[in-house]
Amino acid sequence: MFGYIRPLKPELRIKDYELYRSVYCGLCKELGRTYGPLARLTLNYDFTFLAILELSLQQNPPCAKKQHCMIHPFTKRLCCQSCSGLKLTAAAALIMVYYKNLDNLYDSGIGGKIAALALYPFAALSKRKAAKLYPQLDIIIGEAIERQTKLEREHCTSIDEAADPTATVLAKICELFSDNPKEQRVLSRFGYLTGRWVYLIDALDDLEQDAANNGYNVFLLSGACNCAKPQDYFNIKKSAAETINLTHGEMTKAFQLLNLKQYASILENILFLGLPNTQALVISPRRSKKHDRSL
């Protein structure tokens, strides 16, 4: 996951901002408590979104308390306490880190290989812990990463095929949020479209970098221009925006079928304001690639 599914903070009500931040902080603590301090570095907005989505389907809100943390040692912050949503999401984060690191170990340049080798002991140990708690997650993510790697090595030019592994893994993770078959179908559809949106946005965000490094990017392979000028990149992004807008539109339809018990206004902010804002930033020709992790 890449950190693109974020709220538009200026449009969040103060109450919703505090609730969102409590889940963000709670997930950070869950990562550190279960997998060690280094695991906190895997925290991002996408996993926070997944945790909130799982919690939004529960009848009762999770317990939250004001606590100190390493980043804010002098001010107590509202923090969501350990619960099923945080545990599952934390496990998904660490399993994904392991497989991504393994991919870097085999396919990166020398610098990437050294970094992946240094990270490997932590990633492998954390993955074993997470897979023991959620073996189904390990299978879901492992199969998706294997498919993604195969498509990239084959230089897949189909946008739909290239996005499918990421879309499928989010669909299957979201299915785990409910035991109700009808609700699972809606969650699967919503998760699939969310994963597809994330993959497409990430590919667009990496367009210039992948072109410079001769890396795999489905938009470069399927594009009609040679990317010799900055305007060429902007043209690809404008064209790709049509596909992304269609995906986003289908996401909103699936979202409206969910029976949310809480956090509805936060999820609506993310879906209807946050995602379009992220897309606008990625497509903007003046944008530098920086992801704000602060709350």
Q: Give 28-54 pLDDT, tens digit per residue.
A: 999 999 999 889 988 999 999 999 999
Contact between 5 and 67 under an 8 Å Cβ cutoff? The reply is no
Residue 58, burial from CB neighbour count under 10 angstroms (0-12, 13-18, 19+): middle
| Res 224 pLDDT > 60 | no
Name which of 80-89, 171-180, 241-250, 280-289 the model is least confident about: 280-289
Model confidence over 173-195: pLDDT tens digits?
Answer: 999 999 999 999 999 999 999 99
**Side-chain half-sphere CA neighbours of 271 within 13 A:** 23
Given a cut of 90, whether residue 227 has pLDDT beyond it is no
Q: Is the model more confident about 285 or about 141?
A: 141
Whether the Cβ atoms of residue 24 and residue 270 lie closer than 8 Å to each other = no
- Four-way CATH pick for 9-283: 3.40.50.300, 3.10.310.30, 1.10.600.10, 3.30.70.3270: 1.10.600.10
pLDDT tops 90 at residue 247: yes
Q: Indicate if the pLDDT at residue 285 is higher than 70.
A: no
In whole angstroms, how far apart are CA 78 and each of 31, 69, 132, 140, 259? 17, 11, 30, 33, 26
- The stretches of the chain forming alpha helices (DSSP H) are 14-35, 45-56, 84-107, 110-133, 135-153, 159-175, 181-205, 207-213, 218-222, 230-255, 264-269, 275-283
pLDDT of amino acid 59: 87
Sketch the domain layout of the chain as residue ranges: 9-283
Residue 89 has pLDDT above 80, yes or no: yes
Question: Are the CB atoms for 104 and 113 separated by under 8 Å?
Answer: yes
| pTM exceeding 0.75 | yes
Q: Residue 272 pLDDT more than 50? A: yes
pLDDT(293) > 60: no
Give the pair of three-digit tokens for residue 150.
């195969």
